[in-house]
């Protein structure tokens, strides 16, 4: 599946911003199931300086800054990517064939091979993901002894989808996961953090994935340009099987509809766009995302 993804962030300040420094995780990373054909980051006004590097987790990140003031800023990322279907289909066979979850926990703990060592980094608390005894209590009934990990993860994904209400007004970008657990409300980012916390509480490595999701227009309606949004889900370590991506917001394993940007321990490692600026007074920030299938 080929896509053209456009992600445009516009910033408008009531007073001019005097200087600004920014970091963007807007370039899709290369993964086995995803090839990046091209990526262009258009910044207007033209920044004084920009550079690209890989972060600690291997995600491409662009840094740019302005010496001159500006009143409005737009950052437009355009990527062409090809997605090949991931192996994990949600069929009973595949789920049952995965190793018992305790085996995965033990593998990470022992981390004797490079892949488990890499996974072990995603077992611990991180700036946005910590857990409590209540969360452990919530997750225990699903992770009964000896249960195949994918089967349990599948059930947990379903439970989060059922128990938590999608509500963009309930949380902000900084709402702690404990509040999300208490309110049982939030957006994709919160649900991803939630499921990561529940898995890490058991010792299962789980990482945060930032990206996009192709949306389908309602039957008989035309596709709306720019109505898509940033999305977030998680990757679960499944031992020898590698990583499986699940999307608790939509209660599914990821498909060719998911386009991955970057991963990290949680949102704070890979926000699409961050920046520090001086001045600017009140400001308004809008984001438009368009995921266009092109064959």
Closest distance to other proteins from the beta carbon of 8 (Å):
11
Nearer to other proteins, 138 or 212 (CB): 212
Q: Is 217 in contact with 225 (CB distance < 8 Å)?
A: no
Least separation in angstroms between CB 97 and other proteins: 29
Q: Count CB neighbours of 132 within 10 A.
A: 14
Least Cβ distance, residue 272 to other proteins (angstroms): 6
- For other proteins, the closer of residues 73 and 94 by Cβ is 73
E strands in 55-130: 60-66, 70-83
- Is-contact 85 49, C-beta < 8 A? no
Pair 198, 205: CB distance under 8 Å: no
CB of 208 to other proteins, least distance (A): 12
| Minimum distance, C-beta of residue 142 to other proteins, in the bound complex (Å) | 22
Of residues 225 and 285, the one with the C-beta less far from other proteins: 285
Region for 163 from its dihedrals, namely left if φ exceeds 0, alpha if ψ lies in -120 to 50, beta otherwise: alpha
C-alpha distances out from residue 225 to 217, 221, 293, 294, 295, Å: 10, 12, 12, 14, 17
Cα 43 from chain centroid?
Answer: 23
Sequence-distant (6+) residues with CB within 8 A of 101 are 143, 147, 148, 149, 152, 202, 204
| Cβ(166)–Cβ(197) below 8 Å | no
Shortest separation between residue 72's beta carbon and other proteins, angstroms:
13
CB of 65 to other proteins, least distance (A): 6
Q: In this complex, which beta carbon is closest to other proteins, that of residue 82 or of residue 268?
A: 268
CA angle (43 as vertex; 41, 44 as ends), nearest 5: 155
C-beta of 159 vs 265, nearer to other proteins: 265
**Residues near other proteins, by CB under 8 A:** 9, 11, 18-19, 21-23, 48-49, 51, 53, 55-57, 63, 65, 67, 111, 114, 117, 120-121, 123-125, 166, 168, 173-174, 187-189, 212-213, 215, 228-232, 249-250, 267-269, 271-280, 283, 285, 287, 289
Output the smallest distance, CB 151 to other proteins, in A: 25
Nearer to other proteins, 122 or 138 (CB): 122
Is the CB of 139 or the CB of 232 nearer to other proteins? 232
| Residue 148 vs 186, nearer CB to other proteins | 186
Contact 162, 147 (CB under 8 A): no
Distance CA 89, CA 136 (A): 27
């Amino acid at each position: 599946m080929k896509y053209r993804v456009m992600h445009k962030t516009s910033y408008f300040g009531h007073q001019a911003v005097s200087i600004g420094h920014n970091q963007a995780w807007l370039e899709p990373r290369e993964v086995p199931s995803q090839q990046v054909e091209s990526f262009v980051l258009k910044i207007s006004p033209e920044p004084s300086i920009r550079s690209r590097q890989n972060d600690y987790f291997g995600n491409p990140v662009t840094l740019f800054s302005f010496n001159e003031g500006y009143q409005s800023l737009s950052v437009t990322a355009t990527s062409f990517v090809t997605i090949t279907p991931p192996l994990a289909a949600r069929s009973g066979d595949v789920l049952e064939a995965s190793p018992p979850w305790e085996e995965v926990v033990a593998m990470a703990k022992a981390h004797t091979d490079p892949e488990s060592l890499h996974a072990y980094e995603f077992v611990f608390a991180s700036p946005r993901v910590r857990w409590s005894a209540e969360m452990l209590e919530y997750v225990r009934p699903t992770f009964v002894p000896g249960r195949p990990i994918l089967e349990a993860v599948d059930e947990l994904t379903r439970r989060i989808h059922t128990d938590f209400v999608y509500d963009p007004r309930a949380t902000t970008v900084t709402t702690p996961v404990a509040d999300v657990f208490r309110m049982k409300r939030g957006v994709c980012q919160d649900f991803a953090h939630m499921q990561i916390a529940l898995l890490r509480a058991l010792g299962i490595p789980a990482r945060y994935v930032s990206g996009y999701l192709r949306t389908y227009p309602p039957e008989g309606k035309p596709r709306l340009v720019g109505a898509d949004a940033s999305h977030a889900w998680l990757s679960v370590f499944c031992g020898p099987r590698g990583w499986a991506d699940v999307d608790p917001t939509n209660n599914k394993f990821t498909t060719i509809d998911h386009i991955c940007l970057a991963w990290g321990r949680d949102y704070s490692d890979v926000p699409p766009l961050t920046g520090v600026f001086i001045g600017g007074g009140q400001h308004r920030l809008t984001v438009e995302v368009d995921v266009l299938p092109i064959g």
